Each structure stands twice: as structure tokens, then as C-alpha cells.
Amino acid sequence: MKIGFIGLGIMGSRMAANLLKGEHELFVHNRTKSKATDLLKNGAIWAETPAEVSQQVEVLFTMLENPTVVEEVALGEHGFLAAMKEDSIWIDCSTVNPSFSIKMAKKSKVQNVRFLDAPVSGSKQPAAEASLLFLVGGEKEVLDKVHPLFDLMGQKAVHLGENGKGSAMKLMINQQLGQAVLAFSESVSLGIALGFDKKMAIEVLLNTPVTAPILNVFRSRFEENNFEANFPLKHLQKDLELFTETAYENNKATPLTNTAKEVYALAKQKGQGDLDFTSIFKYLNE
């Protein structure tokens, strides 16, 4: 099958590498070409523009920073959507808001393109190890058709309903992720101020049922102050922003998320946007 992949950042480059293992023809594009070097060495084909990718493929994946970027790459100059083949499939894996996914599904329909929102749960390592969880919104029949491609990149693809439902579930997951890390960081930060040894405080908290299990995965980052980006803080702050925008659109109040979002915004403002989101720990401890 001819497949396209646009957006070769931390996640996209690893997902595309796994797609190559399926012996498909893979056409790739990224704003910064150097990030495609390894993929091109391994058989991927470079396309100069997003439209050059979509002209050639039956299925197109995008893994881009945020809704504004997805819209620009899809609909801007040399955008891919207008160039897609009739009846081809666009799968957007970027974390965006549900109303944006619904808008992209409508734009796709006008072009006779079928659209899935399929953001992922899992970070850099699961992307490399092909153990991502895909959260899929859109027609089940379309998902069934592309399931073998999801199998190359992940452990599971779950169908959550119509377009927008994949994006909605992704934001619900990251809202909890952001708050869990923030709450833990605040607690350890006070513990240190009270005279506890950092490692001891972390050890005790991680062994209580009140601490979210995911915090165990991040333990060494807190202990060793290693905040090299797996999931950049600016993206987590974006996800909390999209969560609160979605709540506004649906007449729901989200007081905790609004507060958490602003703490991450302060860390970003201080220059931590490209560090891992768990560096909120560093922000609160300095």
C-alpha cells in the first residue's frame, strides 16, 4: 500500500519508522527535512510539500504540533487535503480538540476523503517500541480497513465513536496526567521544604495508593533531575488549554484544569517549554 506520513517530530519519526517495517511504500514530509534522514536511509521517499505526499497515497497520517499547525499543513499553501485522491483516508494522530477534529472531518468529506481522529496514548518509548494505544473517532468501517497499519505502530486501536471522540478521550487522559504530575510535584516540593530527603519523600509517596501509578514511570526523572523531553511541556500545556476550551464550548466548568494549565504556562514562560512536562517538578522546586 502507498502510505504518507507528515510530521516527523519526537512521535511521528518513530511511528513512521515502524510503518516502514510493514513493507509499504512510505512517502514522508516534515517542515525540517533533516528529521527524515534516518527514514530516507531506510527506504522512505521524500516529498517536497504536503500536497506532494497526498497526491500519491491511499492513506495519510499526520502527527503535528497543534490544531493551528494541522490546519495550516492541511489547508494552507501546498496543503495536502485538496490534493488527496478520492476515497483516500486521512488519519490525524495529533492531539487536538474534538470540535477541531469534527471540522477536519467535514472538510475531508467535501473532498471525498474519509477522516479518522486517532491520537495516541503513550510517549517516545512506546512510539519507538510500537506499543501505542490509538484512540479512534470516525467510521468503524474505515478503522477496520486501516487496522493493520495501526498494528504496526501500536498494541491496540480502540473505536470510541464518531469523529471527535478520539480527540475527546485523549484530552481527558492528558488532563489527568497533567494534574497528577503537578499534584505530586507540589507535595514533594513541600516535603523538601519541611526537611525530608527528596528520594525518601518520593519513595514513600509512590508506595501509597493515593499517588497515580503513572508517577512510577517518571520516578528517575524526579530523582535525577533529568527532564530531557519525551513529551514537551509546551504540548501538555496546549492539551490543558484545549481541554478548557472544549469545556467552554460545552458549558462545563473546569476550575482545577484552569489552575493547572496556568502553572504549566508559568513554567513555559520561564523557558521550560521544550523540556519534558515533568519538569514542572523542577519549576516548583526552584
Residues that bind ligand NAP (CB under 6 A): 7-12, 30-32, 35, 63-66, 69, 72-73, 94-95, 120, 123-124, 230-232, 235
Please say if 234 is a catalytic residue. no
Q: Are 157 and 136 in contact (CB under 8 A)?
A: yes
Nearest approach in angstroms of CB 251 to ligand NAP is: 25
Residue whose C-alpha cell is 536511509: 41
Nearest one of 134, 137, 278 to 219, comparing CA atoms: 278
Q: Which is nearer to ligand NAP, 45 or 205 (CB)?
A: 45
35, 106, 140, 170: the catalytic one is 170
Smallest gap from residue 276 Cβ to ligand NAP (A): 9
- The distance of closest approach from Cβ of residue 31 to ligand NAP in the complex, given in angstroms and rounded to an integer, is 3
To the nearest whole angstrom, how small is the minimum distance from the Cβ of residue 103 to ligand NAP? 16
Nearer to ligand NAP, 189 or 244 (CB): 244
| φ, ψ for residue 97, nearest 5 deg | -90, 150
Q: Which residue is nearest to ligand NAP (CB)?
A: 9
| Cα 102 versus chain centre, distance | 17
Looking at the DSSP bridge assignments, the partners of residue 29 are 6
How many CB atoms within 10 Å of residue 258? 14
CB of 118 to ligand NAP, least distance (A): 11
Which residue, 53 or 64, has its beta carbon nearer to ligand NAP?
64
Catalytically active residues are: 170
